[in-house]
Amino acid sequence: MARHLWLVGMMGSGKSSAGRLVADRVGTGFVDSDDIVASRMGCSIAEFWGEHGEAAFRDMESAAIAQLAKGPERVIATGGGAILRDTNVALMRETGVVVWLQAGVATLAERVGHSSRRPLLRDEDTSTRLQSLLDERSDAYRDAAHGTIATDGLELATVVTRIEELWNAY
């Protein structure tokens, strides 16, 4: 079975940006699980979420993670809520190394702004909502991850190097 590098963390934590660079550096593929989900839905995540709700989205996300886990070795950026389902976490940990890219609310808010593309940020002040989500999810991220990288104030190149070091350590 392939050994994947699973990047978890909040929206705006740098999973996709860092993931692409890590994949280039180590010579493997990169995929964002949200891209797989969006292609299966045939519409944006925000549209699907609005029409079908979070539970239906999470079902699609779990199916994408299961599919990716069976594929060739690669770096995989997950959606921010992928760690909310124990089955996803178990599958990620069984098939690779899970790295939590941790960032504070100020950093996350600066990176994501207020976006209609992000259903969880639509109806509330961005910083307030991000803090609430971070409070709800921090323990799950910590429990899921083999290692954590606090990205606040780090250059992207440093984050990429630290991710690669964690992957190689396992």
> Domain 4-169, what fold?
Rossmann fold (3.40.50)
Per-residue model confidence (pLDDT) at position 78: 97
pTM of the model: 0.91
CA distance to 50, 57, 167, per residue, from 45 (Å): 8, 8, 29
Q: How far from chain centre, in Å, is Cα 48?
A: 19
pLDDT tier, 147 (very low <50, low <70, confident <90, very high otherwise): very high
Burial state string for 36-62 with b = 16 or more CB within 10 A and e = fewer than 16: bbbeebeeebbebbeeeeeeebbebbb
Q: Mean pLDDT over residues 11-34, rounded?
A: 95
Q: How far from chain centre, in Å, is Cα 142?
A: 13
Region at 111 (left for phi over 0; alpha for psi -120 to 50; beta for the rest): alpha
pLDDT in tens, 29-66: 999 999 999 899 888 888 888 899 989 999 999 999 99
In the DSSP assignment, the letter for residue 94 is H
Higher pLDDT among residues 101 and 127, named by residue: 101
User: What is the layout of strands, in order, in the sheet containing 96-102?
Assistant: 29-32, 74-77, 4-8, 96-102, 147-150
Does the pLDDT value for residue 116 go beyond 70? no
